[in-house]
Structure 1
Amino acid sequence: MADKIRIALDAMGGDHGPAVVVAGADLALSRYPDSEFLFFGNSSLIGPLLDARAGLKSRSRLVHTDVAVRMEDKPSQALRYGRWKSSMWLAIDAVKKGDADMVVSAGNTGALMAMSKFDLKTLPGIERPAIAALWPTLRGESIVLDVGASIGADADHLVDLALMGAATARILFGLPRPTVGLLNIGVEEAKGLEQVREAGRILRDENFAELDYQGFVEGDDIGRGKVDVVVTEGFAGNIALKTAEGTARQIGEYLKGAMSRSLSARIGYLFARSAFRQLRQRMDPRRANGGVFLGLNGIVIKSHGGTDAEGFAAAIELGYGVVRDELLAKIRVALSHHTKPGPHAIGQIAGGAAS
């Protein structure tokens, strides 16, 4: 691993563009001074923001482009007009060319996935990448994947998700053998879709050394932290993620209203202020901002489009950690242990590096 972590940033992505991206990079640099940044986007907008931050500017390079992917674009549209020239594409391409160790974007998720897959390509044997998200739980944090990269999954794909998720958990949580569960409508083996039941059978029978398969888990088990890694396909995963985010905001509004309803409630809040501050920090979506695109030949981090500077910094820090701990090499090793049988077999995946 090089002394410096080089980070490519799609400075035009997200709801707020360069203002949040530059401010977030500045925060991340203060926490990880061995970082270097490549900003891709409109120099007339990004340049003045960097000029106001001398320390960040000295560790950055700015590459100008007039083209930016819009948040409302379909992936096919973004590829058609943004390939080879948009800020998103150029940031991804910097990873492919070896100019950066990872890319972070708050831009259009579908476009980012499509461009990343087109330019970086997938790991051998992986047909569809996945988005892995950190999920706050009663035990700490879990990893949930896929939370929206693609809809539907066969058994082999779910097993790949389990292996990639476990490799990520080993790095982020320092666990030698993370526990893994398949999201299902019940814990009984006879319940659920055929592909989920088949994935469970494969995980039980192969008994991978990299993970400890715990069987099926239900939706309420995610927040309880029953397992370290929850595996599902992207349709259900994205609904679960958005439901949890909405519920957290709803609870926050309920608490805010309750604490201001009466004089006694306001006085009680003063005594419990420290506890409420901790609760607010725990439920702050910025803490867990950032999803890792797994299954690609490169590290791609997706930040929430509407995040602020603190949230964007968290996404950068997530990518910093997975690069420093060589997640990509460890995923290659994990996938090499899974031989895919049956009519849709792709063959044994070649291992790319030692863990």
Structure 2
Amino acid sequence: MKIIVALEELIKENETVIKSIKKQLGRHESGESKLSYMGLASAETNLEKAQEQLSRNKERLKEYLALDMEELVEKEKVRDAIERKNYLNYQKIRINRDITKKNDEKLEAMLILDELKEDFLIEDEELFEIASKSIDLGLTLHIDLQKKIIEVKNEFESALKNIEGENISDLGMLNFRCVLTIVHLHVLRTNIQENIEEDKLPPFRGFPKFEDWWIKELWSNHQAYYGLYKWKQIISKLCITHDQKRAWDIVFSNWISIKKIITDKATLGYEYNYIFDQLIRKHSELEEELATSSLKSMSELTKTIIAKENFSLVPKEHTIITDFVKFKRNKLNYKDVKKLNTKGK
């Protein structure tokens, strides 16, 4: 559960802070690194505060892990039942009205309350502290993604069962890659649309359609490669944030590698390819161009654009010795080969 994960993470952070402060004070006492009077007082205060937070978080975690309904009943007999009930009944109202907290923190706090056992008491400030840690760890996002992955996985596996005769439906890891790619594209599209709406930009009209011949003729026809390049570039321009652009690069790489593997299977891959495309269309509204007129138009447009391009231009970031090559040379203790002097030969 999120509350357990968040509390455990807070405890780790408390312990790290305490260890760091004690190390700092130890260096001061040994004379290795003297602190000013203000610095010393601040360090001691921070140590005391961190120890209190650690103790509180450990006690809260211990209480929650050990909690069961019988213990809860016994505790309720000791506590003021009316005060406790009122505190719990109006907790969501207090959280919603708290003007010092951001909306995402309020929402996360309410989600955590919904997840807790009935009548489990947790102070508002502690709840917000846990909610903040849950946001940092992306726990809600992870749960939503897990649900989406399970949904798509079930749909994909169910569709594959309907394939008859010779096929490539039993591909193990490729099946899972297909599911993840569908989910990642769904998340990217949703994120782009939300950002556009938040920034009040022109309405999002969806992804442009891709063309099958780009994939079929990839590596054998430069026009196919260029068509894919321009299509990828158009979608990249729809991405507003750096994270979105980086995510699209990853999604595109996975998508094109899957499509190429399936396409190279020829007729054996038709049913599998169809299912993959249909699920992407359902969850991300990305689809293939089927109209002959549009296919011809794009083919001619690609030829026209290529004729106008200057392929002698090199991107500013171009380098023949990449960072990975440098890393690999270092790992292998590689000594660069000097150019041989062939004069006179």
Q: TM-score range by the shorter chain?
A: under 0.3
- The two structures have a TM-score, normalised by structure 1, of 0.22
Q: Which has the higher contact order (CA 8 A, sep 6+)?
A: 1
More helix by share: 2
More strand by share: 1
- The two structures have a TM-score, normalised by structure 2, of 0.23
